[in-house]
Chain A
Amino acid sequence: MRTHHSPARRHGETVDRVSGRIVTAGVAPPYSRLAPEQCAALSEASLEILERTGVRLLAPEAVELLARGGAAISEGNRARIPRRLVERALETAPRRVVLHDRSGRPALPLEGARTYFGPGSDCPRIVDHRTGERRAARLADVRDAARLCDALPNIDFVMSLFIPSDAPPALADRLQFEAMVGNTTKPIVFVTYEMSGCADVVAMAEAVAGGADALRERPFVACYINVTSGLVHNTDALEKLLFLAGKGLPALYVPVVSGGTSGPMTMAGGLALSNAGALAGLVISQLKREGAPFVLPGFGGDALDMRTMVDPYCAPEPRGMAESLGHRYGLPLFTLGGGSESKVVDGQASVEAGLTMLLGALSGGHLFHDLGYLESGLTGSLAQLAVCNEIAGWIASATAPVEITPETLALDLIDAAGPEGSFLKLPHTRRHMRERWYPTLFDRDNHAGWLAKGGRSLSDRAAEQVSAILERHRPEPLPAEAAAAVRAIVARAAGDIPAALETEASRA
């Protein structure tokens, strides 16, 4: 796709007056849902939960680390964590994590007010942009999604939008990663079911990066870990966290608290509880290895829809709360939005994606995922992902710093043109006209022009854009040696797992 304009600077950036360099650190987001004293009260509440109620840890190493660190252990695995451990961990965890691209160039500094957009992960179903059919997702869809993300200019990182139904379930996570790393150079956030999958994916990433040290110094992957609940941390989640901390690789650690079922119905209590769980993870990661990169969840305070029992992805009430709290801690955040509860690419899907993405960007959401989700995360859509790319471009322009200089004020030109002056023929106009944002999907034609192009809706145009990109876009290939190393790890895992690689999967 042709981008008519990329802003010189993006939201969340300032220019250092002395060096002229773009600076992203220490910039406060323009919007904070919570006041500082509210953040302090929530943080205090989380600390009380950890000290008073404690957290159940289903991995012995995590219990041992905390016991040695000074936590009180009861019932064998229930740790009550004193506040000094949390305060210490908040000091040692890096305040900035930089995700790199596949070739090791710095790409996404997660800090300050920056927000980077990426898709959601692991939808079992897809609404096929070619037919509109809702069907089980396949490995080919994972590849297409990665390739599309690689091409879309406002998609900053990649996740596996789909769970491939045509891959052996126990091997799907390795195949998802192989499909992504072969089809994009952008940073990848991966998810695995079990610890063994996490180790295999990290091994693949190390092979691509050129070794463990290279990957630690220039990480192009981060692992998204889902934790059972605020105060129950499952074995796989903890083992992954400890493994990643040991390797010095970024972990996105997200305890899942659902208001009214696994946490209080009220947003404050829900967020205090999920944040307590996240802070427990932070402490464990820092006890394992001081300075290990750790990304806090930038969402929380959610609840099931108590009428339908659906877990909504676009509920308005908790928006921005966890981001406010996270910015108080000053740690990198993994935030959520850009999805929809709608079943199709329609007005609702656009509105829900647009509003949540805008609030995320204004709140300084850092790593913002779930673009392209429909049906509350159960179905993914490439056309919806393309719509989200358009929205992200709009937001980047709407929140870009405004430049006020003699050149942009153009007072001499205004005076020379006089009261009735025209600016159409001025070189200044041509010089600056491409600084404006021009849509690639949103329609700005007059009515006749719109009809002449088929008189189609946004969803039709988005589907066509996806087809055109997939037809044309060839991502920079993975060097043959790295691709072979990745394949070998998948094959070895297939050998370890009884369900061998199936035909479709082995064509990956």
Chain B
Amino acid sequence: MHDGLLAAMRRSILDGDPDRSAALAREAIERGLPPLDAVRHGFVPGLDEVGEGFAKGDLFLPDLVMAGEAMKAATAVLEPELQKTGARREILGRIVLGTVRGDIHEIGKTLVSTMLAAAGFEVHDVGVDVPAETFADRAREVGADIVGLSALLTTTMTAQRDVVRALDRDGLRPRVKVIVGGAPVTRAWAEEIGADGYGEDAVAAVSLARSLVGR
């Protein structure tokens, strides 16, 4: 009986329209559609379709980003209802992500952050030029499964090792996995500093993160 509403939800994600997706989420609550159904059968199918379109090359990155924004707007409306019913929205995992100290490069990190969020991770983006301790503190605070480290320069790449050490020191590993990326970063480097994985680009980062949380 909610078929029309569910289809509209899917459409709002495909269109990347946060105003529309939020309005549909409110409508769902008013009409008594269980919030978990709205997420699972309304919004998530839209997100899956966008992901597939992107993988095939039919959709571009901004399509993905805006779909993510629309998803965020819908879940912001539904989250309090979910908590009321005791249901929890399913997330793939929690990730703390940022560019390491001394490095101000933002674009690659933000792309990865967007892609991970669109894939269903809860992403805590800590920004650029981030000290090792901040990564560790934030990971503990949010109960992160993964910490993602970006570096674009050969000179700042070494700061990735500092974060691995800080997480070790705080006893967060091996529970918290570390993934690294950035133009000069290689698989060999990831192994050398004891990181748990390396992705060559944002798409690879998503599959890496999925495999690390066993999904």
Our verdict on whether A and B bind, yes or no, reads yes
User: Which of chain B's residues has its CB closest to A167's CB?
Assistant: B154
Q: What's the Cα separation between A136 and B188 when bound, in Å?
A: 10
Q: What's the Cα separation between A170 and B154 when bound, in Å?
A: 9
Cβ contact within 8 Å between B62 and A260: yes
Chain A residues whose CB sits within 8 angstroms of the CB of B134 once the complex forms: none
B103 CB to closest chain A CB (Å) equals 11
| Given contacts A306-B61, A309-B61, A309-B111, A169 and B154 within 8 Å (CB-CB) | yes
Cβ contact within 8 Å between A309 and B184: no
User: Which residues in chain A, 415-441, are within 8 Å of chain B measured between CB atoms?
Assistant: none
Interface size class of A (residues with CB under 8 A): 20 to 34
User: Which of chain A's residues has its CB closest to B107's CB?
Assistant: A261
Assess whether B201 is interfacial by the CB under 8 Å rule: yes
Assess whether B57 is interfacial by the CB under 8 Å rule: yes
Interface size on B, residues (CB 8 A): 20
User: Which of chain B's residues has its CB closest to A229's CB?
Assistant: B106
Assess whether A113 is interfacial by the CB under 8 Å rule: no
Assess whether A378 is interfacial by the CB under 8 Å rule: yes
User: Which of chain A's residues has its CB closest to B184's CB?
Assistant: A124
A211 CB to closest chain B CB (Å) equals 30
Assess whether A307 is interfacial by the CB under 8 Å rule: yes
User: Which residues in chain A, 267-317, are within 8 Å of chain B measured between CB atoms?
Assistant: 304, 306-310
Q: What's the Cα separation between A260 and B111 when bound, in Å?
A: 12
Assess whether A172 is interfacial by the CB under 8 Å rule: yes
Assess whether A57 is interfacial by the CB under 8 Å rule: no
Chain A residues whose CB sits within 8 angstroms of the CB of B201 once the complex forms: 308-310
User: Which residues in chain B, 133-157, are within 8 Å of chain A measured between CB atoms?
Assistant: 153-155, 157
Cβ contact within 8 Å between B104 and A228: yes
Cβ contact within 8 Å between A169 and B57: no
Cβ contact within 8 Å between B183 and A378: yes
Assess whether A349 is interfacial by the CB under 8 Å rule: no
Chain B residues whose CB sits within 8 angstroms of the CB of A103 once the complex forms: none
Assess whether A234 is interfacial by the CB under 8 Å rule: yes
Neighbour of A124 across the interface among B61, B62, B110, B154, CB < 8 A: B154
Chain A residues whose CB sits within 8 angstroms of the CB of B54 once the complex forms: 307
Chain B residues whose CB sits within 8 angstroms of the CB of A378 once the complex forms: 183
Assess whether A31 is interfacial by the CB under 8 Å rule: no
A403 CB to closest chain B CB (Å) equals 48
Cβ contact within 8 Å between A307 and B61: yes
| Given contacts A258-B107, A306-B61, A307-B60, A169 and B186 within 8 Å (CB-CB) | no
Cβ contact within 8 Å between A193 and B155: yes
Chain A residues whose CB sits within 8 angstroms of the CB of B154 once the complex forms: 124, 163, 165, 169, 172
Assess whether A262 is interfacial by the CB under 8 Å rule: yes
Neighbour of B153 across the interface among A193, A234, A262, CB < 8 A: A193
User: Which of chain B's residues has its CB closest to A235's CB?
Assistant: B104
Cβ contact within 8 Å between B155 and A169: yes
Neighbour of A169 across the interface among B104, B110, B111, B157, CB < 8 A: B157
Chain B residues whose CB sits within 8 angstroms of the CB of A169 once the complex forms: 153-155, 157-158
Assess whether B44 is interfacial by the CB under 8 Å rule: no
Cβ contact within 8 Å between B183 and A262: no
Q: What's the Cα separation between A414 and B161 when bound, in Å?
A: 77
Chain B residues whose CB sits within 8 angstroms of the CB of A262 once the complex forms: 107
Neighbour of B186 across the interface among A136, A194, A234, A307, CB < 8 A: A136
Assess whether B179 is interfacial by the CB under 8 Å rule: no
Cβ contact within 8 Å between A234 and B183: no
Q: What's the Cα separation between A136 and B202 when bound, in Å?
A: 22
User: 26 interchain pairs (CB within 8 A)?
Assistant: A136-B186, A163-B154, A163-B184, A169-B153, A169-B155, A169-B158, A172-B155, A193-B153, A194-B155, A228-B104, A258-B107, A260-B61, A260-B62, A262-B107, A304-B61, A304-B107, A306-B62, A307-B54, A307-B57, A307-B60, A307-B61, A308-B201, A309-B111, A309-B201, A309-B202, A310-B201
Give me the interface of B with A, judged by CB distance under 8 Å.
54, 57, 60-62, 104, 107-108, 110-111, 153-155, 157-158, 183-184, 186, 201-202
Extra pairs beyond A261-B107, A309-B202 (6, CB < 8 Å): A124-B183, A169-B158, A193-B153, A260-B61, A309-B111, A309-B201
Give me the interface of A with B, judged by CB distance under 8 Å.
124, 136, 163, 165, 169-170, 172, 193-194, 228, 234, 258, 260-262, 304, 306-310, 378
